[in-house]
Amino acid sequence: MENNRAQWGSKLGFILAAAGSAVGLGNIWKFPGKAFEGGGGAFLLMYLLIVPLIGMPCMMSELAIGRAAQSNVVDSFGRLGHKGYAWTGWVGWAVAFIITCYYSHVGGWVLRYTVSYAMESGKVYADPLGYFYNMLGYDAAAGSTFIPWPVLIFAALFMAVCCFIIIKGVEGGIERFNKIGMPALFVILVVLLIRAATLPGAAPGLKYMLSIDASKVTPQTFLIALSQAFYSLSLGMAIMITYGSYLPKTENIARNTFMVCTMDTLVAVIAGFMVIPAVFATLGPEGVGKGGGFAFVSLAGVFQQMPGGAFFGFLFYLLLLFAALTSTISLIEGIVAFLIERKGWKRTPTTIAVGLIMFLIGCLYTCSQAALPIKGIWFDFKNGITYPAFCDAMEFLTDRIMIPVCALGCCLFAGWSWTPENVCKEIEQGGIRFGLVKLYSFLIKFVAPAAIIVILAVSLFTGTTLS
Ligand code: PHE
């Protein structure tokens, strides 16, 4: 069993695939808005502390668990002697499943906009909000709704590409795609950064991102930064355990974790330094939005006013597209790897079946944005039972509850049950020396679980809009 388990073909292949998972819509589209909300420099500073102190120990643990167990996300815990933690794996698996349903649809929207900027940027500029709503099945002028077939087809296309790559396997598909996609992403990012930083009027935006306003350093900002870090690093959802299980014993988990986290953070920070100054320069600070529509609606104003805007707009969505693809692929791999191993199913039909089901559930996500009044259900102690739109309920459930629960399970497992000694032993396989054993143990036993419990408590008790 262990011998025929797939492995990464090269060190770089793994790093790029793991970074590909981490670098996603979260970095480029969520991070800048949150950084703005959190006061720019203040948020940035907090985020830069959270990643090494909480993100890195968690990622290292997940990779070590996967590599030591050589198994999928659910069975790994049992293989390491603690069957009682299988629930952690189930939650992680379920998170990956639910997130893929909507993430792949947002990928479809991004694909739609990539095509829009290539072919009809004028239409987008003419009425950015109207264009966005129209894509989602709502005609604001007529006040009527309709099933948004075109964007559903784009989402189907997006899902099909992801499934195709998964079917090609770990080395031949995932690794190979990331080796092209990730460098392409970096190049586009740098081009866009230069474009944004050289816009007249970009300076106040840059200044905002660099100055620390102490009044913005609040517990709320800290929590937003913390949950953003988990989401952005792809923690608490089956992925790093699965990817770790494909990692050869000779690889240095600590160093790889450091590189993946650094790349992910770098992309987020660069995205912040690109989007915020560009919005300041064109629309002013009021132009920075937080919600999902931001990347689609407000940025249209930015590209419209920027010389060469349609081209840079196209590049921007291409960037988002690569980021979304590599992340979705990692999500689907976590789901499929489990089914293949557990049920003995074949890779190709499993991928197709799972992809189809997730696409169909995702249709409810896209349609509940504006076209159809599909509701979900949500509970918190402040507001009681509420019925938010189905799309919001999905995001609440994963981001506020399930990811923290799974991450907490991993921390407790690594810190208290399997013990940090075993994690470090796994890290030191192949003669590698890991010099931070004490620090790691402290962080994974106390700091990370405490922080996660606070996120959960805040979500449940205050009904806050952490995402
Ligand atoms: N980490 C990805 C991002 O920043 C999101 C993601 C979530 C990817 C879950 C995989 C799994 O967008």
Running along the chain, 467 residues long, what does each successive block of 10 average in pLDDT? Answer: 70 89 91 88 94 97 96 94 96 95 95 96 92 92 93 98 93 90 89 89 92 84 89 90 93 95 96 90 76 74 87 92 92 92 95 98 93 87 86 85 94 97 94 92 97 89 60
Residue nearest ligand 1's atom 8 by CA = 327
| Ligand 1 pocket test target in 103, 227, 397 with most atoms within 8 Å of CB | 103
Contact of 230 with 404, CB cutoff 8 Å: yes
Q: What angle do CA 431, 435, 439 make, to 5 degrees?
A: 135
CA–centroid distance, 232 to ligand 1, in Å, is 5
d(CA 122, CA 250): 53
CA–centroid distance, 129 to ligand 1, in Å, is 26
d(CA 206, CA 202): 6
Q: Which atom of ligand 1 is nearest to the CA of 27?
A: 4
Residue nearest ligand 1's atom 9 by CA = 234
Pairing mode of beta strands 144-145, 378-380: unpaired
CA–centroid distance, 377 to ligand 1, in Å, is 24
CA–centroid distance, 239 to ligand 1, in Å, is 9
| pLDDT the model gives residue 4 | 59
Q: Where does ligand 1 bind, in terms of residues with CB under 6 Å?
A: 21-22, 24-27, 99, 231-232, 234, 237, 239, 327, 330-331
> CA dihedral in degrees (276, 281, 282, 286; nearest 10)?
60
| pLDDT the model gives residue 3 | 44
Q: Which atom of ligand 1 is nearest to the CA of 95?
A: 9
| pLDDT the model gives residue 447 | 97
Residue nearest ligand 1's atom 6 by CA = 234
d(CA 184, CA 182): 5
Q: Which atom of ligand 1 is nearest to the CA of 323?
A: 12
Residue nearest ligand 1's atom 11 by CA = 234
Contact of 257 with 60, CB cutoff 8 Å: yes
| Ligand 1 pocket test target in 327, 398, 402 with most atoms within 8 Å of CB | 327
Query: Residue 273: which residues within 8 A CB-CB, separation 6 or more?
Result: 193, 196, 197, 206, 209
CA–centroid distance, 330 to ligand 1, in Å, is 9
d(CA 135, CA 293): 12
CB count, 10 Å around CB of 431?
7
* Among 135, 134, 128, CA closest to 152: 135
Alpha helices in 120-216 (DSSP H): 121-126, 128-136, 149-167, 176-197, 203-210
What token pair was written down for 120? Answer: 């009809």
CA–centroid distance, 198 to ligand 1, in Å, is 30
CA–centroid distance, 123 to ligand 1, in Å, is 31
CA–centroid distance, 145 to ligand 1, in Å, is 31
CA–centroid distance, 244 to ligand 1, in Å, is 16
Whether the pTM exceeds 0.85: the reply is yes
| pLDDT the model gives residue 240 | 94
* Among 179, 163, 164, 169, CA closest to 5: 169
What token pair was written down for 115? Answer: 């095509």
CA–centroid distance, 230 to ligand 1, in Å, is 9
d(CA 360, CA 112): 18
| Ligand 1 pocket test target in 101, 105, 232, 326 with most atoms within 8 Å of CB | 232
CATH class of 11-462: mainly alpha
d(CA 122, CA 110): 17
Amino acid identity of residue 372, one-letter, is L
* Among 63, 70, 74, CA closest to 97: 74
CA–centroid distance, 307 to ligand 1, in Å, is 32
CB count, 10 Å around CB of 81?
12
Residue nearest ligand 1's atom 7 by CA = 234
Query: What does each C-alpha distance from 347 to 97, 259, 354 come to in angstroms?
Result: 16, 30, 10
Phi, psi of 379 (to 5 degrees): -135, 135
